Amino acid sequence: MRIGVWVMIMVGVLLLAVSAPMLYAHYREYALAEKARNQYAIQRIPIEPDGFTGEAYVFDFRGNRIELRDEFTKPTEERRHGPIRITVNGRDHSIAADAVIRPAYRDSNRYHGYLALAELTDRKTGTVRLAIVQRIDGHADNAPSPMEELRWRILLVSEDGTVEEETFAYGEHTHPLYRTRLANFATPMSFGYESNVLNVWLSLFYPILYPYVTALAGMTLLLSGAVGLFMLRRVNGKPAI
């Protein structure tokens, strides 16, 4: 009986030890996502077909003229490689970053996985800025980049036309907290704030059996074993502790 109680305790401790790191990783992702929602309102802006005029996509952000263009003016189903030119109020903010462009599309699919627009609002100050998010690692979307090689830049356009630029790599995307969500808009694979534990295909094993059921089972075995040990000591006339 005593051996069985200790086995329950040891198995319970083992299950909790195995489950705890993953539970903590889940907690961190949920906590950071909630903190980001409390600090920022982020609304993705779709690239609409009626925004294309001539050879450029034109978007007006509170009186600021944003233009996106590339060198592929003829529609074709073949994907092309080349840079995306970005201008804000006529000023060129482009860099020589290769992207996969889909000339057949005149909507968000044209620059899918490489460029996106979003409205970023700071809930504390009320400041609203346009975020032009661009993936700049140069990897083709049909050959996914290793996470560690992903790089982005964000152009933040204020109402007065001021443009601020941020460039960062994977591993630097957690803070400021808006970076993770914005970078996901311009990346063909999804990722989390500090880990990718919530960005996987769900199954019965994960995350149901592991880590939640294993943690629950571990806690149940540990408590049951502790109660059993307590009762054994009482029956044998020894102190419980």
Cβ-based neighbours of 228, under 8 Å, separated by 6 or more: 1, 4, 5, 8
Dihedral, 179, 181, 183, 188 alpha carbons, nearest 10: 160
The pTM of the full predicted model, rounded to 2 decimals, is 0.86
CA 80, CA 152: separation in Å to the nearest integer?
20
CA 42, CA 33: separation in Å to the nearest integer?
12
Question: What is the pLDDT at residue 141?
Answer: 55
Residue 3 burial (CB < 10 Å; 0-12/13-18/19+)?
exposed
Q: Are 44 and 31 in contact (CB under 8 A)?
A: no
Question: What is the pLDDT at residue 192?
Answer: 96
Here the tokens at position 235 are 């029956």
pLDDT along the chain (241 residues), means of 10: 83 96 97 98 96 93 97 89 96 94 95 97 97 86 70 97 97 96 94 92 86 95 89 69 50
What is the SS3 assignment for 153-222? EEEEECCCCCEEEEEEECCCCCCCCHHHHHHHHCCCCCCCCCCCCCCCCCECCCEHHHHHHHHHHHHHHH
Q: Are 13 and 219 in contact (CB under 8 A)?
A: no
Question: What residues does each domain of the chain span?
Answer: 2-28+201-235, 46-185
Question: What is the pLDDT at residue 237?
Answer: 63
Question: What is the pLDDT at residue 236?
Answer: 73
Owner of token pair 């601020």: 164
169: amino acid identity, one letter = A
